[in-house]
Amino acid sequence: MRQPDSNDRLRRRLVTGGAAAFAAAGLGSFTRSALAQAATTELPIANGKRNLVAFPEKRPLIVLTTRPPQLETPFELFNEGLVTPNDAFFVRYHNAAIPTSVDGDKHAIKIGGNACGKPFEITMAELRSQFKPIEYLAVNQCSGNSRSLFNPRVTGGQLTNGAMGNARWLGVPLRDVLARAELKNTARQVTFNGLDNGVMGGGDFVKALDVHQALDPDVILAYQMNGTDIPMLNGYPVKLVVPGYYGTYWVKHLSEIEVIDRTFDGFWMNPAYRVPDNDCACIEPGTTPAATRPIGRFTVRSFITSLANGAQLRAGQQALVRGIAFDGGQGIREVAYSTDGGQTWRGAKLGAEMGRYSFREFTFAFTPDKGTHDLRVRAWNRSGQSQPMEALWQPAGYMRNVVESVKVTAA
Ligand SMILES: Nc1nc2c(c(=O)[nH]1)N[C@H]1C(S)=C(S)[C@@H](COP(=O)(O)O)O[C@H]1N2
Ligand SMILES: [Mo]
């Protein structure tokens, strides 16, 4: 439901969005000055005990930084359902100057660039009324999800496994909008910019896709998440959704699209968000990659969600173990599980297919003997790609996808 007055709307969003908890956290209301004040609040970075704070429209989430907000979803939540609720979805920003109030009808996206034959502007109202939207479930995952588990350790946000989420995205295919822009045949890349800005040396966050990636019919300008407005912190009123690709390409508060005749080399494409240009996107610790490329699609991952490390089970009693798997857009074909640290494997039961970009549920029954058990799961996608048994390493701490281990005890 759209409301006429964007201030009313934002006020409504704040009231329904846990503003009380935000105030309780000593951060006041969600204004720029409150965020400036938040910057002076001491909060521990990820290692050791981590604080939970409820930002506007969010339930209490793990705080990595407050300015800009960087919030991680507590992992237990992934056991509650395959769709991550909007108020629990992780948040990642690079720059502190983030929008806190946007008119959801008047907001416009400017489309231009030197390989755009017909520059124009499109408002949200036009985007909603002049095009046919599509909707699908898709996982968004930060490139640095699980970075704190790298060994040797790497710098950057010390995330555990909660910088991911699965939501239902509704939006207009980018290629339908670009069709109006009359791309010149010199077009090589498309760049995307949002309303947030760099401050004090932080470069404006701009991303680029090759034209063929941008014209993929599943790439959308999304304006709904799980059937409602996208939360402000997740990119209200419109974000680019590039299913199967790491979150870095999912530009929030999208305001500018440029079609250009060259490879864009802004900071967030080069040197940031690049991976070693080889099959594993990995190197030996302490070495440097011979060449790099922009990070691309997700690698295959799977997680047990119903049991945490250290869980206690009843010996001799059957437990139903549950988890999730996903990949970069082929879809999951198979999940295997081991209850003996990876020595022997069996097939887990797959849950319903909910689309090739979605989390896929799996389950298996496990009746433990007395003692400690090392549970592992490993997934394969439809093109046969899987997860390594030993962790791969790379300097930025991106793309972790090793077969994880969950140790449980039965008594
Ligand atoms: N405008 C804008 N969009 C952005 C970013 C940003 O800093 N600014 N960060 C990107 C990164 S690295 C990630 S992982 C995703 C996270 O999306 P979320 O905050 O909605 O979870 O947003 C992407 N889009
Ligand atoms: Mo990210």
109, 8 contact by CB (below 8 A): no
Q: With 60 as the cut, is the pLDDT of residue 306 above it?
A: yes
Is 136 found in the same domain as 159? yes
Tell which atom from ligand 1 comes closest to the C-alpha of 144: 14
Retrieve residue 411's tokens.
């008594």
Q: Is the CB of 252 under 6 A from ligand 1?
A: yes
Distance from residue 233's CA to the centre of ligand 1 (Å): 9
Q: Tell me the C-alpha to C-alpha distance, in Å, between residue 21 and each of 125, 154, 195, 354, 395.
A: 33, 33, 26, 34, 37
Is 319 found in the same domain as 245? no
Distance from residue 248's CA to the centre of ligand 2 (Å): 5
Distance from residue 6's CA to the centre of ligand 2 (Å): 29
Is 163 found in the same domain as 38? no
* Residue ranges making up the domain that contains 336: 301-410
Confidence of residue 64 (pLDDT cuts 50, 70, 90): very high
Is 204 found in the same domain as 188? yes
> What mean pLDDT do residues 150-179 have?
97
Last residue in a domain, options 239, 265, 294:
294
CA–CA separation, 125 and 107 (whole Å): 8
Q: Scanning the structure block, which residue is given the tokens 């520059």? A: 119
Q: With 80 as the cut, is the pLDDT of residue 263 above it?
A: yes
Q: With 50 as the cut, is the pLDDT of residue 129 above it?
A: yes
Last residue in a domain, options 294, 310, 328:
294
Integer-rounded Cα Rg, in Å, for the chain is 22
By most ligand atoms within 8 Å of CB, the mutation choice from 57, 91, 93 for ligand 1 is 93
The pLDDT value given to residue 33: 32
Is 233 found in the same domain as 179? yes
Query: Which of the ligands is closest to the CA of residue 256?
Result: 1
Task: Name the percent of the chain lying above pLDDT 90.
Answer: 86
Retrieve residue 285's tokens.
């610790």
User: 218: helix, coil or strand?
Assistant: coil
Contacts 24+ apart (CB under 8 A), 383-387: 383/330, 384/333, 385/299, 385/300, 385/327, 385/330, 386/300, 387/299, 387/300, 387/301, 387/302
96, 35 contact by CB (below 8 A): yes
Note the pLDDT tens digit of each residue in 307-360.
999 999 999 999 999 999 999 999 999 999 999 999 999 999 999 999 999 999
The pLDDT value given to residue 203: 86
Q: With 90 as the cut, is the pLDDT of residue 20 above it?
A: no
Confidence of residue 48 (pLDDT cuts 50, 70, 90): low
Note the pLDDT tens digit of each residue in 391-403.
999 999 999 999 9
Reported as half-sphere exposure (CB side, CA atoms, 13 A), residue 319 has a value of: 21
By most ligand atoms within 8 Å of CB, the mutation choice from 92, 109, 295 for ligand 1 is 92
> What mean pLDDT do residues 19-39 have?
35
Query: Which of the ligands is closest to the CA of residue 99?
Result: 1
> What mean pLDDT do residues 172-189 have?
98
Q: Is the CB of 248 under 6 A from ligand 1?
A: yes
The pLDDT value given to residue 69: 96
Per-chain mean pLDDT for the chain: 90
By most ligand atoms within 8 Å of CB, the mutation choice from 62, 67, 195, 252 for ligand 1 is 252
Other C-beta atoms lying within 10 Å of the C-beta of residue 144: 24
Residue, of 175 and 3, whose pLDDT is higher = 175
The pLDDT value given to residue 198: 79
**Comparing C-alpha atoms, which of 349, 307, 308, 320 is closest to residue 332?**
349
**CATH number of the structural domain spanning residue 340:** 2.60.40.650
Reported as half-sphere exposure (CB side, CA atoms, 13 A), residue 47 has a value of: 7
Is 3 inside any structural domain? no
The pLDDT value given to residue 200: 67
Is 143 found in the same domain as 48? no
Note the pLDDT tens digit of each residue in 206-256.
999 999 999 999 999 999 999 999 999 999 999 999 999 999 999 999 999
Q: Is the CB of 251 under 6 A from ligand 1?
A: yes
The pLDDT value given to residue 27: 32
Q: Provide the number of structural domains found in the chain.
A: 3
**CATH number of the structural domain spanning residue 177:** 3.90.420.10
Atom 16 of ligand 1, nearest CA residue = 92
Distance from residue 94's CA to the centre of ligand 1 (Å): 8
Is 250 found in the same domain as 125? yes
Residue, of 36 and 252, whose pLDDT is higher = 252
Distance from residue 172's CA to the centre of ligand 1 (Å): 19
Sheet harboring 70-72: ordered strands across?
52-53, 61-65, 70-72
Distance from residue 365's CA to the centre of ligand 2 (Å): 35
**Comparing C-alpha atoms, which of 88, 65, 76, 97 is closest to residue 253?**
97
Is 103 inside any structural domain? no
Sequence-separated (6 or more) residues with CB below 8 Å from residue 365: 318, 319, 320, 321
Atom 24 of ligand 1, nearest CA residue = 251
Q: Is the CB of 196 under 6 A from ligand 1?
A: yes
Is 323 found in the same domain as 286? no
